[in-house]
Structure 1
Amino acid sequence: MDVADLNLLPALDALLSEGSVTRAARRLGLSASAMSRTLARLRAATGDPLLVRAGRGLVPTPHALALRDRVHALTQEVQGVLRPTDDRLDLATLDRTFTIRANEGFIRLFSAALVSAVLDAAPRARLRFVAKPVKDAGPLREGAVDIEIGVLGDFAPEVRTCLLFRDHFLAVVRAGHPLVTAPMTPERYAAARHVVVSRKGSFTGPVDEGLAALGLRREIVAVVPGFPDAVRIARHSDLVALIPRSCLGDTSLMEGCVSFEFPVATPDIVVSAMWHPRMEADPAHRWLRNVLMSVCRPPTV
């Protein structure tokens, strides 16, 4: 049985990522002719052309596209295994930038406390918070993000996860709204007009499924990308907004508004921290995860 040459793995990763022999060669510090010879060896090893000519450029074959993410993850894993480790962590001298990807609501609620907790222990560390416009495993896999905060999905089955907290939705209206002057029923709730939050622009959600089971339907007249936007609209109209209970901690956001429980059942929101497996044993990353959990987890979790 032939033994696979792991030296080919970084080259394959570079070729599939760059889609160009010249750019892949430049990335690895090789000559274009050396990379061409490596591509020939990779074609022989995989039994597939991998990159084929299309006009003046190269395009990946279906097999290459299927391999690309796996090859990148494997390359990162191998490099992590072969990198010397040192479990000693001196927080007083830790000089490192950690990137956390999260939505606007999480950043508003937890960023100040997290920055304070990190700097109290590691004064030379830095936190970079970046927006999360879509659910995408690319930044974690590529190392552009250290930790992602959000609801789990099947977009990246290899990621490591840890529960931060459970949340659930509440309805929010302006102070003095007619809905809060009498007991809430599914019928009264459905009869109101609504503003909802959806990054994808969807006009339906879990509440609508609960209402449909009762033979009811609400009228949604506005869709916005973030919860603060929905609350601001509700504050200045008769529309009903939908927000996680954790947003109640932002007193400036909730000024002039009141909240109430839904008269229909909706599933809990399970918010987790996610990171790539290559960071699992990194001492500084492990410390940051512990700080994050201590800041975000309520005492009852």
Structure 2
Amino acid sequence: MDMHGIDLNLLVAFDALMAERNVTRAGARIGRTQPAMSAALSRLRALFHDELFVRSPTGLQPTPRALDLSTPLSDALAQIQRTLDFTQAFEPAASKATFTLALSDHPAFVVLPRLVRRIEVEAPGVVVHVRGFTDRQQAEELLESGAAHAAVGVPARWGTNVISQPLFQERFVSVVREGHPLLAKKVTLKRFLAYPHLLVSPEGDRRGHVDEKLAELGLSRRLGLSLPHMFAAPGIVASSDLVATLMKSVVEHAAAAFPLHVFEPPLALPITTFVLAWHRRNDAHPAQRWLRDMLAEVCRR
């Protein structure tokens, strides 16, 4: 049978006739007049080359052909309805949706535990997959290809197909091990620069916020170690004479595990804003909008 000539409304009418076994009641069930339902039944008979329903003292009786069609067509209509409902409204408590988030290391540490707790309560059937990335280009490729529904990372010059909004902010603090010789006197910029530094650079750069600020002053620092993972830094600092300047939440998390001394860096550093980014084609999707709203809310809290 050629699907191109089939009117979906005819299948809806057939389903109503199977349920009601009466033309008038079937019309009322789907909001059609009795003449409209009679016309639909005539078209159905022509389409399937079968009477489908015959009159009897107890109402319309389905033919064997109609009985064969009933369950498959009813299931198909129900699936179409579920699909339409999913794309028009999202019910978290009943959803079995799967989302893929692209997260750099720090947002995974800060955001993910809070997000998982909220999902467990509000949408226990939802599954979240996490993809890592290290730079803007990789994140944008994940969004562009559809491999990720949203990404959280530092601001970037996204392409025209990517929408972004601020999510949360982090400020930097400096840290050394307890008993570090830097602590013998007041921490001046000169003394701060006298010791080797640890640089965290996920993208493998040799410059960070500290280096950029020092360059404005015509100064530089001596690096002793650079590494891509911020969460390895506190343990390394605790067992060496390296000085590190890290995001405050990372240091606070590590303070219970390592003997560290935290202090304000002797130069003004910018606050880092992390953003939520998503592809423009997903902007109006109810389920993905719910996920973005959830991320924004847990970050506000």
State TM-score, norm by structure 2: 0.66
Contact 1:190 1:211 in 2 (8 A): no
Q: Distance in 1 between matches of 2:103 and 2:252?
A: 17
Contact 1:100 1:145 in 2 (8 A): yes
Q: Distance in 2 between matches of 1:241 and 1:290?
A: 34
Contact 1:109 1:249 in 2 (8 A): no
Q: Distance in 1 between matches of 2:207 and 2:116?
A: 35
In the alignment, which residue of structure 1 is the partner of 2:18?
A: none
Structure with larger Rg: 2
Q: Distance in 2 between matches of 1:267 and 1:147?
A: 25
Tell me whether 129-138 or 85-94 shows the greater mean CA deviation.
85-94
Contact 2:245 2:265 in 1 (8 A): no
Within the candidate set 213, 225, 228, 2:216 is matched to 213
In the alignment, which residue of structure 1 is the partner of 2:116?
A: 115
SS at match of 1:250: helix
* Structure 1 segment 94-113 matched on structure 2, within 5 A: 94-113=95-114
Q: Cα RMSD between the aligned structures?
A: 2.0
User: How many residues are aligned here?
Assistant: 216
Structure 1 209/90 Cα, relative in aligned 2: closer, same or farther at 3 Å?
Answer: closer
* Structure 1 segment 58-77 matched on structure 2, within 5 A: none
Percent identity over the alignment is 32
Partner letter of residue 198 of structure 2?
V
Deviation at 1:188, TM superposition (A): 1.1
In the alignment, which residue of structure 2 is the partner of 1:158?
A: 161
Deviation at 1:94, TM superposition (A): 0.7
Structure 1 runs not aligned, ≥5 long: 1-82
In the alignment, which residue of structure 1 is the partner of 2:174?
A: 171
2:275 maps to 1:272? yes
Q: After TM superposition, what 4+ stretches of structure 1 lie above 6 angstroms from structure 2?
A: none
Structure 1 120/249 Cα, relative in aligned 2: closer, same or farther at 3 Å?
Answer: farther
Deviation at 1:128, TM superposition (A): 1.3
Contact 1:148 1:274 in 2 (8 A): yes
Contact 2:89 2:287 in 1 (8 A): no
Structure 2 runs not aligned, ≥5 long: 1-82
Q: Deviations over 1:153-179 (max 9, x none)?
A: 124232111111121222121122222
Partner letter of residue 130 of structure 2?
F
In the alignment, which residue of structure 1 is the partner of 2:197?
A: 194
Q: Distance in 2 between matches of 1:233 and 1:289?
A: 35
SS at match of 1:157: coil
2:287 maps to 1:284? yes
* Structure 1 segment 80-159 matched on structure 2, within 5 A: 86-135=87-136, 136=138, 137-159=140-162
